[in-house]
Structure 1
Amino acid sequence: MPSHKPKSSKPRGGVPKAKVGKLVGKAVEAAAKKPKKRIPAPPVTRNNDLPEFVLKIKRKPSYKKGPFDRKVRALQKLSDEGKLFKQANPLDKDPELTKAYRERVRQAIFAKYWPPGGTATAEGKAMAEKLLARLDRVDADHVWDPQLGGPDTVDNLRFLDSHTNQDMGSEIWQKIRNLPDGTPIRIEVIP
């Protein structure tokens, strides 16, 4: 019975596969894992010469009511004050800002409920574990979304349910992405 193995290690075309040394291979792997840095667009300001865009937001059944209501109230207030507009993308956001915000809250939980030196009570440890588990389910959300002209600063951050935050942010982006930069935006909540 004839063998079905190839007669040589050369692939079709007769050219052998290039060998990569360990050093080059590691460099290629590291480069592939390294995130590509996007160059942010220059920021813009609200352009009142452009027609106002009405951004309609409706609570999806998957959103938690309390977090959604807080987020929408904040956006409506900013909208009523005439502060919302489409910011140029990609945004100039510092991912370390939200990481540091989360870490400061984590450290505050430990400081209050599970202090070093073995002085924590069983109740304190239980409360710390409960709050840390809750912290894992929330995102550091920009109250005034940077895509709507908000600042990327610590005082603009609050925790929000992860699903609500990410889904709302994506939905807003889908609705405004084709607008000219600087377009004034008004929020309308659909019941």
Structure 2
Amino acid sequence: MPSHKPKSSKPRGDVPKAKVGKLIGKALEPAAKKPKKRIPAPPVTRNNDLPEYVLKIKRKPTYKKGPFDRKVRALQKLSDEGKLFKQANPVDKDPALTEAYRERIRQAIFAKYWPPGGKATEEGKAMANKLLARLGRLDADHVWDPQLGGPDTVDNLRLLDSHTNRDMGLDIWRDIQKLPDGTPIRIEVIP
């Protein structure tokens, strides 16, 4: 029975074979540089058969008081309504949604204070620059955090101080990550 292995590196006509390893490596280089997309876990629902977990939240000195209080009040209200639970991670969030939200706010600032066609006043331009600089320090925050069962929708987004948003989100994740998916969560604010 004849062998299917090539007998030499040259096919008929004495033309050398392409070096497949290098070609494949070159083709894979751009793909390797792309960040790997996390595959979201299938969503779960609140499981009232599991014991309720009390999530204790305390304002850190680095948090701005007003934004922290607004965020915690919203979470407490959702907690009182029995809506909070541990969602499966990683949660399915669309970064384009928050980017589009921020862009709409940016466009609204320009429309109000720096309209096209040379109609902007110096005061309007100064106010637009001030608001845009402030927007740069804010995140599009999910009021009802998706890791606590909240939807990834525009009506669930509000602006929040970036540090407060990210640090609180990380603290919540650390506290609930080992809980079974669907665990009911109650918020308790520590003074």
**TM-score, length basis structure 2:** 0.86
Amino acid aligned to 2:114: W
Cα distance in 1, alignment partners of residues 33 and 96 from structure 2? 19
**Structure 1 regions of 5+ residues with no counterpart?**
1-18
Q: Following the alignment from structure 1 to structure 2, what is the Cα–Cα distance between the partners of residues 123 and 31?
A: 48
Residue matched to 2:86: 86
2:155 paired residue number: 155
**Residues 96-135 of structure 1 aligned to structure 2 (within 5 Å):** 96-135=96-135
Q: Report the residue type matching 2:154 in the other structure.
A: V
Runs (5+) with no aligned partner, structure 2? 1-18
Work out the percentage of aligned pairs sharing the same amino acid. 87
Deviations 1:43-81 (A, max 9, x none): 000000000000000000000000000000000000000
Q: Paired residue for 1:16? A: none
Q: In the aligned structure 1, how far is the partner of 2:140 from the partner of 2:156?
A: 10
RMSD: 1.7
Q: SS of the counterpart of 1:54?
A: strand
* CA drift at 1:172: 0.1
1:175 aligns with 2:175: yes
The yes-or-no answer on 1:53 pairing with 2:56 is no
| Residue aligned with 1:66, SS | helix
Which residue identity is paired with 1:127? M
SS of the residue corresponding to residue 83 of structure 1 reads: coil
- 1:141-177 per-residue CA deviation (whole Å, 9 max, x = no partner) reads 0000000000000000000000000000000000000
Range with greater deviation from structure 2 (83-92 or 34-43): 34-43
CA distance in 2, matches of 1:33, 1:90: 22
1:26-65 mapped onto 2 (5 Å cutoff): 27-65=27-65
* Displacement after TM superposition at 1:32 (Å): 2.7
